[in-house]
């Protein structure tokens, strides 16, 4: 497990008829996640050309705090609701800075 910060890009695709519901759920994650220990950046983006496409851009102090994020109350509460509203499972990718 690395002690260096990691970057995360997480894409969520709403079904066209659920965009507003998905946006509301995802927005509800921002404030509590930013308050988590080790959260350095947590931004929610919505694609201008495709309103169904949401992306979180994240930076975490290390792998351990990112793993704890997945078990936080607000994440565990949100994801069952999202499952019925999204077109596919979230695409979550982790990165290390190389330059």
Sign of torsion over alpha carbons 44, 85, 13, 20: negative
Work out the percent of the chain whose per-residue pLDDT is above 90: 91
Q: What is the pTM of this model?
A: 0.92
Structural domains of the chain sorted by starting position, each given as residue range(s) with its CATH number in brackets: 6-95 (3.30.70.100)
Give the mean pLDDT of 21-38.
98
Taking all residues of the chain, what is their mean pLDDT, rounded to a whole number? 95
Phi and psi of 30, rounded to 5°?
-65, -55
Per residue in 55-77, pLDDT (tens digit) is 999 999 999 999 999 999 999 99
pLDDT of 89 > 50? The answer is yes
pLDDT of 3 > 90? The answer is no
């Amino acid at each position: 497990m690395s002690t260096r910060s990691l970057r995360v890009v997480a894409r969520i695709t709403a079904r066209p008829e659920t965009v507003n519901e998905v946006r509301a759920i995802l927005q509800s994650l921002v404030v509590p996640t930013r308050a988590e220990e080790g959260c350095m950046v947590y931004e929610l983006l919505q694609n201008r050309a495709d309103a169904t496409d949401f992306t979180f851009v994240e930076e975490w102090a290390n792998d351990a705090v990112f793993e704890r994020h997945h078990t936080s109350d607000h994440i565990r509460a949100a994801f069952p609701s999202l499952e019925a509203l999204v077109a596919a499972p979230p695409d979550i990718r982790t990165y290390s800075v190389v330059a």
